[in-house]
Chain A
Amino acid sequence: MKIKSQEDFWAGLMFVFFGVFAIVVARDYPMGSALRMGPGYFPTYLGVIMIIIGAIMTVRACRVEGGKIGRWGWRPLLWLSVAFAAFGLLIDEAGFVLALLALIIASSLAGRDTRPVELMFLIAVLITGSVALFIYGLELPYQLFPWS
């Protein structure tokens, strides 16, 4: 067996995975009947549908020629993930300003041509702008600094 369409093959497996996942998790929920649908009824059938769709796709991917999966952009994926995670971890404890600072620096590392001076400028503009708009303008109730 040869995979002729990488895209469809993996997409099919992904749907099968989500379908199995849905059914396994929904086993803990009462099914009920068509007359009185239990909480497990809808997710279980969605799982079945996903498995069928995924299976058809995977099988077809071995017969019909299709697209290859391109290269993964690990660098932007990693740094943008760090940026969001840092913001989420810092916002409650370290405050709005430091969380934004971490977010912007990590984001800029995702790009290829970051220029230090430009970055400083960007940080200054984005942080003052956000504080003015969201904290003073829209009065969102976030603390600015860990000590404030």
Chain B
Amino acid sequence: MDALADLFPNLYLGFSVALSLENLLYCFIGVFVGTAIGVLPGIGPLAAIAMLLPLTFKLNPVAALIMLSGIYYGTKYGGSTTAIMLKLPGESASVVTCLDGYEMAKQGRAGPALGMAAVASFIAGSIGTVLIGMFGPPLAEVALLFGAPEYFSLMLFSLIGAAVLVHGSMLKALGMIALGLLIGIVGTDVNTGMSRFTFGVTGISDGISFVVIAMGLFGFAEIVSNLEQSSLSRDLLFQKVKNLWPSWTDFKQCWNPMMRGTVLGAFFGILPGAGPTIASFSAYTLEKKVSKNQAQFGKGAIEGVASPEAANNSASQCEFIPTLALGIPGSATMALILGALTIQGIAPGPQVMTQRPDLFWGLIASMWIGNLMLLILNLPLIGLWVKLLTVPYRLLFPAIMVFMAIGVFSVNNNPLDIHLALLFGVLGYIFIKLQCEPAPLILAVVLGPLMEENLRRALLISRGDASVFLSRPISAGFLIATLLLLAIMIVPAVRKKREQVHEESAQF
């Protein structure tokens, strides 16, 4: 109950931070850029945040975090615009929005579809913000009790979660995780001072920056893959969008699906390794099952837009709960945001909430403000974003290359990083060709050194006895949950369902 009693003074603190002119400005820049990134297909939030990281070096930590988070949840709004207008997901979390959103647009109802997507995102985002405020602090209190065994088991749970829920083969994802952990420990070993896997290159004795890896795997490789496709033609059928505001009947029809989407989104957001894309798929599948007008799904049902859009936004908001409360990122994007905090000199973890309440509550307040800005940005200004879609890719990708090169270089001002990014870019392209999803890898890169350190400490405390992971209840809980996840995947029925869901998504 303490948490609830403190909620209002804390929110007051948060709003006083977030409403400062400077933070409002960075929040706006963040959500504006985020919407643009979301609208443009072929560039995702991960590459965008990595690219724009240098812009935050000069900022204070609060402003930096507000802006980067704004980019992230902003993409979820922008992604739906492209999905509805072009049947192309501007961003992976809006893949399912294509199904009914585009159908609605074909029937001349692009306006209500776009409007409903924005409204659903806003309502879900607002609820998500409240959830972070309610569940973040108590979770951080629990996390303060965590020792090395708990952290190790939690990270294992995160990684296995990422492997189970990722697109494509689970075995490949597990391999990618092992490879990521290995890349993560490149550099000087903290315990012995020994250089590992550096091959005498001094530039990587502090490890390979995750910005470099993210930019290679998600930026460079993605552009190569986009360019090899013969045509990136975009048929913009509907230049004019009318009647954005959904009718009252639309709204009533969507209320329950929206709420269900929000709850599912929150669940998948908190679950490490899952995130917005899975959330939107699950929400759509659920609505298709429970809806009264099932026949309409796939033919322009407005619930088929509202529910997944609510789910992906609530998930992207709730992903911040474990990230901020435990200091353990649940997804690759969250790993980048935590990395940005580290660059700012703030060690992520449960202590952040008590030591820097301005940071935590300022971020939460800014998220709500950001969602409001996004609603305004996306409804009256929709025409601007639709215009953005007419910019051809041949003009876009050189600009992305420029931003990536400068972004990579500015992290350490070392040209070596550019060449490393190139190396990871080529590797990333091979991954794409072999259908190996890189997201679990980058999560593992960040967790690699932490995992090794906590494993080492746990075994030191227990005198080399591995049963320590099972004798401590919280750690055992995470391990049992991990085993359950793996076990569920082996059950044939679930595996079939998973493959089916991923096949549906693969059609886009």
Contact = CB atoms under 8 A, between A and B. Distances in A.
B494 interface: no
B436 interface: yes
A11 B436 contact: yes
B342 to A, nearest CB: 20
Contact of B394 (A69, A81, A91, A111): A111
Contact of A77 (B55, B224, B421): B224
B21 interface: no
Contacts of B393: 111
B234 to A, nearest CB: 14
A18 B434 contact: no
A72 B433 contact: yes
B11 to A, nearest CB: 32
A11 B175 CA distance: 9
Contacts of A85: 418-419, 422
Interface stretch (B71-79, B181-189, B294-302): B181-189
Interface in B218-255: 220, 223-225, 227-228
A84 B227 contact: no
Interface size class of A (residues with CB under 8 A): 35 or more
A55 B90 CA distance: 37
Interface residues of B, number: 61
Contacts of B460: 35-36
B175 A57 contact: yes
Given A73-B224, A88-B415, A43 B402 contact: no
Given A43-B196, A91-B409, A84 B421 contact: yes
Among A67, A70, A73, A89, chain B packs the most CB atoms within 10 A around the CB of A73
Contacts of A43: 182, 185, 196-197
A73 B196 contact: no
A89 B417 CA distance: 11
A20 interface: no
Contact of A42 (B57, B171, B402, B452): B452
Nearest to B420: A88
B398 interface: yes
A76 B227 CA distance: 6
B179 A80 contact: no
B507 interface: no
B433 A111 contact: no
Contacts of A118: 394-395
A122 B410 contact: no
A145 interface: no
A50 B430 CA distance: 17
A67 to B, nearest CB: 6
B228 A76 contact: yes
Given A37-B456, A57-B169, 17 more contacts: A7-B435, A15-B178, A34-B464, A47-B182, A50-B179, A50-B182, A53-B171, A57-B172, A73-B225, A84-B220, A84-B405, A84-B419, A107-B397, A112-B227, A122-B398, A130-B406, A140-B406
